[in-house]
């Protein structure tokens, strides 16, 4: 297909630069979108013009609260919560079908559901190792696959962003987290593989790899450990919960129409050392 024949290119050329960063009228699915970084990026999508959002999360109390907050902040946005475990392939397919039924289709996907352990490799229980891989890697694939099957069948474009980690690029010492590191490296390469396979269907797949982020979870870490993180990060700080929003909106918007299979590091320079 020539550049002029691609409908995404034709649409994009009619927009000015700032308009290309908008998500006007789009329907988004966000896994792990009920709290933390996932919820902050969901808010950013609404700010950028999304009109429909499907939040996939395992915790009903967080999901219900997130939907209420979105409705309060964005009265014109229709948001729904779908309680599920991303490891459950059938539940994922059912939820994706529900979003398509409720909103007429899917335009963008953000996968931010993930877990981590700090366990020495020689002591790592097999079931805990499998859990990290199942949620972080398999769960990401199940959601992406379910959406891609619908997009391909309906000849509808889609942009996907998986949340990787700088831990998928380097080993961030000193905490022991071999399963998490391996899972995030796999997520990054999964995105590259899917980007190549699905490019003919106008499905773009990219990853964002955050550095150390200042969240409710990291607030509980040992201050001495966090001091080490500051010292190893050239910008001398942890990321704010909103620091991923710009990259996520860019990768999911027409502004990045020629970007696929790319990993964007948002790590304060950590991986540059």
Q: How far is CA 151 from CA 59, 144, 157, 237, in A?
A: 28, 10, 6, 40
Q: Is 213 helix (H, G, I), strand (E, B) or coil?
A: strand
CA angle centred on 191, ends 187 and 196, rounded to 5°: 150
Sequence-ordered list of residues with C-beta below 8 angstroms from that of 67, at least 6 positions apart, any chain: 55, 79, 80, 81
Strands 108-111 and 158-163: parallel
Q: In this structure, what token pair is assigned to residue 203? A: 């499905």
Residue positions counted in the chain: 273
Buried b (16+ CB within 10 A) or exposed e, 146-156: bbbebbeeeeb
HSE-CB for 104 with a 13 A CA cutoff: 6
Task: Please state, in angstroms and rounded to a whole number, the distance separating the CA atoms of residues 253 and 21.
Answer: 5
Strand order in the sheet with 27-31: 78-83, 52-57, 27-31, 108-111, 158-163, 203-210, 263-266
Any idea what DSSP says for residue 160? Answer: E
Task: Please state, in angstroms and rounded to a whole number, the distance separating the CA atoms of residues 227 and 50.
Answer: 38
Task: Please state, in angstroms and rounded to a whole number, the distance separating the CA atoms of residues 114 and 162.
Answer: 11
Residue numbers annotated as active site: 165, 180, 184
């Amino acid at each position: 297909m020539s550049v002029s024949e691609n409908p995404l290119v034709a649409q994009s050329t009619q927009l000015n630069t700032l308009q290309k960063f908008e998500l006007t009228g789009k329907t988004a699915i966000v896994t792990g979108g009920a709290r933390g970084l996932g919820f902050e990026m969901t808010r950013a999508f609404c700010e950028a013009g999304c009109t429909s959002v499907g939040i996939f999360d395992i915790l009903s109390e967080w999901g219900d609260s997130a939907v209420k907050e979105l409705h309060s902040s964005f009265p014109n946005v229709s948001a729904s919560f779908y309680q599920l475990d991303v490891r459950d392939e059938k539940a994922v397919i059912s939820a994706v079908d529900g979003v398509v039924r409720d909103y007429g289709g899917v335009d963008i996907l953000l996968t931010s559901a993930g877990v981590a352990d700090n366990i020495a490799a020689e002591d790592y229980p097999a079931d805990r190792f499998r859990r990290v891989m199942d949620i972080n890697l398999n769960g990401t694939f199940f959601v992406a696959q379910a959406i891609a099957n619908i997009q391909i069948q309906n000849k509808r474009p889609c942009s996907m962003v998986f949340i990787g980690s700088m831990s998928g690029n380097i080993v961030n010492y000193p905490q022991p987290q071999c399963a998490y590191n391996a899972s995030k490296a796999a997520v990054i390469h999964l995105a590259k593989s899917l980007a190549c396979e699905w490019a003919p269907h106008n499905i773009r797949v990219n990853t964002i790899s955050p550095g150390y982020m200042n969240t409710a979870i990291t607030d509980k870490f040992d201050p001495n450990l966090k001091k080490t993180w500051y010292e190893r990060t050239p910008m001398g700080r942890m990321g704010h919960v909103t620091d991923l929003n710009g990259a996520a909106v860019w990768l999911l918007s027409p502004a990045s129409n020629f970007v696929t299979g790319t990993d964007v590091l948002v790590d304060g320079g950590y991986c540059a050392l």
